A and B are shown apart, each in its own frame.
Chain A
Amino acid sequence: MLSRVANSIYWLGRYMERTENYARFINVNFNLMLDLPPDLKEQWEPLIMATGDHELYKSRNLSYNMQEVIYFLAFDQSNPNSIISSISKARENARMIRENLTKETWEKLNETYHFVNKASNEKVWKKEDPRDFFEEVKSQILLLYGLADNTVARTEGWYFRQLGQYLERADKTSRILDVKYHILLPSADEVGSPLDFLHWMALLKSVTAFNTYRRLYGNISPSGVVEFLLLNKYFPRSVFFCLKEAEQCLYKISGANGDGYTNSAEKAMGELRSKLEFDDVNDIISSGLHEYIEHLQIKINNISNKINDNYFQIKDNFASQTMGQE
């Protein structure tokens, strides 16, 4: 497959996943706020912190109220990670490689793009309860995944998209977990309080993990939730699961025969996957969850760079040409 095409498919996977996760971010925070006791102020700052877009947000001199945060994360075209930016970039990548997509996939993606644009024109962020919009974005992306699952041949292109999707999801699940770190409880005594539990529950619900968690762990405990979202071997949004799948994609792409890594991307991926495979949740918490998550995100970025070096960079006597996206 053409390197340029592989590059676009990989980023198509990442931007679609990013779109869906931003919709999830906003809904989780909305749900969290609904559970606050009446005397407590809404907290939207943690969401900005967790997405990693806080520098840009600060430079805008915006306040952390709901409308401005939602606008910034969903509809601000100058925020490169907002829903509208991500879906536009997903579509732009799809447009560049349209001949490699099934007709249904392209048409559905195109429709989702128009749907988000329409919502933007209608200023959805000014609505009192904009959750419907975010639910719909989620559904549309999930529909696209379903379409792909049932129509796309399992050849190289499929694995590049899956690779992008799982790496992006690993990063975003870790960020959703980080929202909890940034949310302030009224006082230290509240750790383990009903309010604290409500937060953890909302978090699980935001990644459609609540029921599965209940079945596997029973009681809600911070270490349980952290273990579930970071290290669980079976839940398709846990960081470990995503890395394991992404690693398999790399092996499918290179055709490696199972005797270990064959290039620097596989090496970096294997290293991180095995670290998570053997890490213990209690160690993670005692040495600092936030720091652990930050470290994880740096490693994931590094893997993405290695994928770029191995598959997308124009080599040989080609004129040097950057195809970087982020």
Chain B
Amino acid sequence: MKVNHEHQHSFYDEMYDEHQTLRDHYSSFGAFIENTSAKKLNQLQYSADKAQMAMGMTFNVYHDKEGSEKILHLDIIPRIIPGNDWHKINEGLKQRITALNLFLQDIYNDQKILKDKVVPSDLILGSKDFLKPCMGLTPPKGIWCHITGTDLVRDNNGEFYILEDNLRCPSGVSYMLESREIIKRAYPDLFNKLGVRPVSDYPAKLLEMLQFLSDKPKPKIGVLTPGVYNSAYFEHSYLAQQMGVELVSGLDLMVKDKKVYMQTTKGLEQIDVLYRRIDDTFLDPQAFNPDSMLGVPGLFEAYKAGNIALANAPGTGVADDKAVYAYVPKIIKYYLDQDPILHNVPTFLCREEKDRNHVLENIADLVVKETNAAGGYGMMIGPKADAEEHEKFRQLVKSNPNNYIAQPTLSLSTVPSIVDNKTIEGRHVDLRPYILYGSEVEVIPGALTRVALKKGSLVVNSSQGGGSKDTWVLY
């Protein structure tokens, strides 16, 4: 099937270079695609769709009236990353997570970085994600961000940039794992030939990391879910199943003498480690949001007493705020005395007058984002919005500057994708690798590649019409 190279010249394409020649790491796969009939490719795509539906790989979309379950479209053309590119990503992410972890430990304890005025105090202490109850706390083994799903993008020159540090409860790893299973069926012989690094041991590594957090020889571990109506429920149950641990909801748990127990058919059983997929402030109605129906009263007291490990630790959210993001290069320098291996996207902080004025003047060329919104909500892409929208965001920025940042419009790289069963065209992608922090920091050699399925669109979020691709990291 032919690949349509139209519009490709203005972006970095992962598969073809500027002369529309296949890049080295895509040579076998590209040849396969070019020599395979449209009919056969559509069949492969159809089988992948069917497999997803049968697996119930669905997510729930908030604000959607029609039926709550959707499939995240999986495009069968993979995103391939050569070993040397990956090496840099690997090193860069390890560096970044190490620094962010030190940062979290510092701001909840000595606050040296604030006293040294490297990061403004009010930005941290005034953040709604700064959890005062965590002051003076060191979590088990000193680890705050056990599981991270950092978002990266690639610009015109092929350079990778960090877009977002997702330190709370990043989702999507189940898609990385299940998509691989589906795509393996589509190209059984290519995997071996290309040397694709496996990701299937992620659940085993996750379990190992969680076990590391407890000093008991056989700790009892659970995945704490908000419940079946949460958008990522599929993932919660999937991970629990793959690790062979309990999937628990707040209703299954209770705290007695600062210890956490599950209600079983044989009475109460103590639980030692929770991989919690509930937001910080919903964890414990006694310590945080009193309206929370999802959490467990007394959980935070048990955590403070050291009787339960929580991954990720409560309080990490303050470090993945979009305004704090702008300071991460300084944070790396401060704690590690190193230059960042992976760069930030240049970021204008609307809280700073100079930056703000720049944003107000150039709003039509910038992407404006709320500092603590996620999922592609609360943002405006200047070049794609009209004058009215620009003015609306100008007012928003003026009235609450602390709440906004702006970045230049990125030209995300593209990967050819099957469009409407008819053509293959480049579509914009980002990259979300997963990093585990246990006895050491480890980047899983794979990722969730999200793809904006609409022509020209830069929004890859699943809740806004994005799809996904399997990501092959080569040796």
- Chain A contact residues, CB within 8 Å of chain B: 1-4, 6, 92, 95-100, 103, 106-107, 110-111, 114, 156, 253, 311, 314-318, 321
Contact = CB atoms under 8 A, between A and B. Distances in A.
Contact of B251 (A4, A98, A103): A4
A235 to B, nearest CB: 31
Nearest to B228: A96
A98 B237 contact: yes
B237 A2 contact: no
A99 B228 CA distance: 12
Contact of A99 (B53, B241, B249): B241
Nearest to B53: A114
* Closest 10 pairs between A and B when the two form their complex, measured CB to CB: A99-B241, A99-B240, A98-B237, A99-B237, A99-B247, A110-B56, A311-B265, A107-B54, A6-B265, A96-B228
A141 to B, nearest CB: 17
7 contacts: A2-B246, A2-B248, A2-B264, A110-B56, A111-B54, A314-B263, A316-B254
B334 interface: no
B238 interface: yes
Interface size classification for chain B? 20 to 34
Nearest to A312: B265
A1 B265 contact: yes
- Secondary structure at the B interface, as helix, strand, loop or mixed, is mixed
Contacts of B252: 2-4
B288 interface: no
A141 B256 CA distance: 43
A62 to B, nearest CB: 27
A321 B251 contact: yes
Given A6-B265, A107-B54, A110-B56, A318 B241 contact: no
Given A107-B55, A321-B251, A1 B237 contact: no
A318 B241 CA distance: 26
B244 to A, nearest CB: 9
Contacts, number: 64
Contacts of A4: 249, 251-252, 263
B54 A110 contact: yes
Contacts of A317: 254, 256
A95 B264 contact: no
Interface in B26-71: 53-56
B238 A99 contact: yes
B327 interface: no
Nearest to B54: A107
A269 B270 CA distance: 32
A156 B55 contact: no
Contacts of B268: 316
Contacts of A318: 251, 254, 263
A316 B257 CA distance: 14
Nearest to B239: A99
B331 interface: no
Nearest to A311: B265
A95 B235 CA distance: 11
Given A98-B237, A316-B254, A2 B262 contact: yes
B264 A3 contact: yes
B241 A253 contact: no
A92 B268 CA distance: 26
Q: Tell me which of A92, A99, A107, A316 has the highest count of chain B C-beta atoms within 10 A of its own C-beta.
A: A99
Interface in B253-276: 254, 256, 262-266, 268
B241 A3 contact: no
Contacts of A315: 263
A321 B266 CA distance: 19
B233 interface: yes
A139 B233 CA distance: 30
A114 B53 CA distance: 9
Contacts of B53: 110, 114
Contacts of B55: 103, 107, 110
Contacts of B249: 4
Contacts of B246: 2, 99
Contacts of B56: 95, 98, 106-107, 110
A100 B265 CA distance: 15
B159 to A, nearest CB: 41
A114 B55 CA distance: 12
A185 B238 CA distance: 55
Nearest to A157: B265
A98 B55 CA distance: 11
